[in-house]
Every structure is written in structure tokens, then in C-alpha cells.
Structure 1
């Protein structure tokens, strides 16, 4: 009888251990950190108005505003901002140096292979930053090709791959760390046009009378791409909870009032676009 009891006890212990292990695996690394009382590390690059660090190091920008509000609605207030280079955001997430990636991260198939996205928080297009008066008449990638011009763009931006796909020679594409360096290259004449998203182009235009922004509508319609918040592939349960809270908040009066100062307007709200569709796009 004692042998049977001992055997049953060991069996129950093994079953409990297996159940706990399975639950932990399903929960994901972020859930483990939260259970341990550790902060949610919010990774972003300096890319106003999407995301940037305030003077006190806090997370600013409309993507951070939306993300932090959603996290607080989920009951998470212990949030640690982590500022890094744009090109280092996805590697930092994969290496678990950050838990969530914000900024103007377009939902692209290549990125979907490395991380998971929330449902879209907005849909945005691209534009060029060119010298004032646009003396070379640049509106499209084809204009760059026809005149054998030099384009500059921050490393990791979709505009680099888009330009190559359109036929811009790789040797005519300059990569720089961020939009400040992009502006400097155009102003100094090292590049004929800076390619970035329309929101950043609008901000860069406001920074200098020496440049202007081209018409975003001149870009192909397919350049309008959904933007989402990035999660580690093992954090499915947390991401799904985030999406549920996002669905209630997105487009609300409260949200639109909060992000108005960062130039997010109702035009940018998703209109039926989904992350699943964006991840499968050609």
C-alpha cells in the first residue's frame, strides 16, 4: 500500500511539473519577467513623431503613447524605456534585450519572419525630402533612376528595399543611422533626395527651410503600409491580450486627443487592414 501511495505521489508530482513547464512555455518570456516583478522594456529608436526619448528619458511619440496606454489598461505600469538605433530594434527583441518594439515599424513580410506584430495602429505612406524648390523634379523612384541620382535613407527603413525593388541601383542608395543624418546628407548635397515615411518627412521639412517634402500621393498606392507594435514570437498570449485592449482604444476620442500633438490624424486609422494580410503581402 505504501509502495502504491509513493508511486501515485511521484506520478502526481511529475504531472504537476509537466503542467507547470507547459504553462510556462505557453506564457512566454514576457510573462515570466512580469511574474518576477521586472519591468516591461519598451524598445524604440529616435524617430519623431513616432517614438523618441523626452528630456527626462521617458518614452514619447504617438506609438509609445498608444502602447503605454494599452499596457496600463492591461494593468502594467512598470515600463522601462530603451532607446536604441533603428537597425538594432529587431535584433534586440530577438535577443530578449527588449520586450516590445514601438516606433514607426511597418508590418512587412520580412519582419514578420522574425517577430510578431499587434494589429495595425495606423496605415502610412512614404515621401521624399528634397532641396527647397525640388530643382530636379523628384517625385518617384523612377525619377531617381532616370537621372542617376543618389538617395539617402535611415538603415532598416522599408524605403531602401522599396527603392531597390523599383530599380534604383544599390550604389545610388546611401544608408545613415537616422533622419537627422538623412537631412544633413540632403542639405550638404551628398544625396539628391531622402526617402522616409510621410510623417517623418513632414517633421524634417519643418526643421529646415533648405528642404521640402514631396507629395506622398506620388508614391505607389501599395507604399501605404500598416504599422504595428512588435512582440517576441513566444509572447502570443500577451500579444493577444494587447490586441483586445487595442481594439477598444484605437480611434476613440480619448486616443485621438492624446496623439493629436504628434500629428496623428483620423486619416491614418486602419480601414480594415489586418496584420495577417500585411505579413502575406508580396
Structure 2
């Protein structure tokens, strides 16, 4: 059986980690403000960040070893973000990604401290994070899905069908899927909290829950090592009438607007071509369902 890095929520949708660990390292947020104000933008003799990267021939990227977003297998950096970013940076004239492993909570503080140029970890775009870093346009969205038993015996398709069937739903501890289930009117007694994604798969296989709720991306990856299960088609849950796209993107240090803008130009060429998008990162469980809609903009996501 293949071994994959720990598939956790990466703070992706949890309230407690919504600021990407910024509260955990407060000193790092203020210590590099001078760099943020201009040092990054005009590196070495007034040149922009992208010009510097082109000259040196590599870009420093951070990853958190979280499959399928960014992880190492042997000596090879793999996953959604490094694969997309490698393609984009090659188009920009920067041929090499030089990876740095970081704990999830340290990704943004490390970026601000100048340890790397880009976070390649599938980080969710939130207003709290936007206050401390620059995000690309969405490089993917994360519709929700359900892991169910083989054959989907309850015929579940979304939360409305789960409510109607009266089944028990599993959700990750602290993750927003619990809110999705409650928002859909599922009784609290029918929502079971689990500590890890594998716990969710095990609960489905044992019949303790009839469905485990998570992003379709994560569930399809999890199903690789849990063949007794299957994953429903993704759907967009709503909270207070608002569709939950859960988009993620690349992250840059403030002052790197030139790099971010050039990156976005190349990213658009990929996200506007579904066949190319799936061709690049389909191996990591990404489908046309994860292609971000053109109208979904980071500027709006940063406003909250």
C-alpha cells in the first residue's frame, strides 16, 4: 500500500486556524514590516522580485507536506500547488522550485521573515490571511463531498438527502463541515465529531457514520487507501445563503505585487482551460469541479 503524507485539514477551513497560525507567532508579524514596506518589491538595485528570480534561476517555495496539496515523495516535490507553480514559473522564466518544509502554523510568518518567496501549499484565501500576505487569484475551489460505503447504500447526494435519510454524518473536529451540516438542518445528535480524516474513513467502514463530510479533493485522495469506500459527486453547501467555494491560492510576501501579478497572468491561462487544468493536477484528485469560476476574485474574498 502506498504511503501518503498526513492528510489533515491544514487549518484550511477551521476557525481556530483561520489566520494561518499568525496568533501562534505574533513576533514574526511585526519584525519584518520594513521588508514588507518595500524591501521585497525593490530587491537589489531597484529590480522587482520577478527580475531577481529570473536572474538567479530559482524560486524558493514553502510546503507543509500535506497531500494532495504540497508534499515530498522521496526527493521529488509533488502535489497540486508545486505542480501548478512549477508550470507557471517556467512560463515566467524561472525553471527551478527550491522547497522548504514548514509547519502549517509557520508558513505565513516564514514568508514575512523572507525565508521563501511563495507558499505552495493550497492555502485557503481568508480576510485574516490577506491582511498579512498577498494571495494569487484562486487556483482551485474545494466543493464539499461525502465519503460513503461502497455502493452508497443510502443513496446520498448532498446534505439535504442526508437529512431526509436521517443518517449520521461524520465531520472533522473544529472544521467548518460541522457548520455546514447544522446549517442544512441536520440534528446535532446525528453529527459525529472525528479527530482525523482516517478516523472518518474508518467510521464509514465500521458503519458508525453513514457519511463523512470533507472536501471532494481530500476525500478522493483518502479513498485511494480506503477502497471499501466511495466518494459522492461534490456539491456547494451554503451558510446563511452564501455558497461555500473554499478557494485556495499561492501566497506572496507583501511588496511582491509584480511577482503576484505576473503569476496571475499565467494562472489564468490554466484555470480558463479546464482540460489543461485537469491534465496538470488531475493525478492529485482535482477535476473540472475544482476549476474556480472566472467571477470568483481574491479581492472580494479578502473583504470577507
Alignment check: 8 A CA contact 1:122 1:228 kept: yes
Alignment check: 8 A CA contact 2:60 2:100 kept: no
Match of residue 280, structure 2, among 258, 268, 279: 258
Match of residue 254, structure 2, among 227, 233, 239: 233
Counterpart CA distance in 1 for 2:81 and 2:119 is: 10
Partner of 2:127: 109
Where do 5+ consecutive residues of structure 1 fail to align?
1-21
Partner of 1:244: 265
Where do 5+ consecutive residues of structure 2 fail to align?
1-36
Superposition pairs of residues 13-162 of structure 1, within 5 angstroms: 24=39, 26-27=41-42, 31=49, 34=53, 39-48=59-68, 50-56=69-75, 58-86=76-104, 88-132=106-150, 139-140=158-159, 151-153=170-172, 159=177
Of Structure 1 and Structure 2, which has the larger fraction of its residues in helix?
Answer: 1
Alignment check: 8 A CA contact 1:42 1:101 kept: yes
TM-score normalised by length of structure 1: 0.67
Alignment check: 8 A CA contact 1:151 1:174 kept: yes
Partner of 2:290: 268
Partner of 1:10: none
Structure 1 residue 64, shift from structure 2 partner: 1.7
Structure 1 residue 82, shift from structure 2 partner: 3.1
The 1:39–1:26 alpha-carbon spacing in structure 2 relative to 1, beyond 3 Å, is: closer
Counterpart CA distance in 2 for 1:115 and 1:162 is: 28
Alignment check: 8 A CA contact 1:53 1:83 kept: no
Structure 1 residue 219, shift from structure 2 partner: 3.1
Structure 1 residue 274, shift from structure 2 partner: 1.1
Counterpart CA distance in 2 for 1:42 and 1:25 is: 17
The 1:119–1:41 alpha-carbon spacing in structure 2 relative to 1, beyond 3 Å, is: same
Per-residue CA deviation, residues 156-175 of structure 1 (Å, 9 max, x unaligned), is: x6546656877897x95444
Partner of 1:6: none
Q: Secondary structure at the match of 2:93?
A: coil
Partner of 1:204: 222
Alignment check: 8 A CA contact 1:140 1:218 kept: no
Q: Secondary structure at the match of 1:207?
A: coil
* Residues paired across the two proteins, number: 256
Q: Secondary structure at the match of 1:53?
A: strand
Q: Which protein shows a greater Rg? A: 1
The 1:256–1:204 alpha-carbon spacing in structure 2 relative to 1, beyond 3 Å, is: closer
The more displaced of 246-255 and 117-126 is 246-255
Per-residue CA deviation, residues 194-246 of structure 1 (Å, 9 max, x unaligned), is: 43211221232343233332442373371223321122234323212222332
Q: CA RMSD in A?
A: 4.4
Structure 1 residue 97, shift from structure 2 partner: 4.3
Counterpart CA distance in 2 for 1:53 and 1:86 is: 15
Q: Secondary structure at the match of 1:229?
A: strand
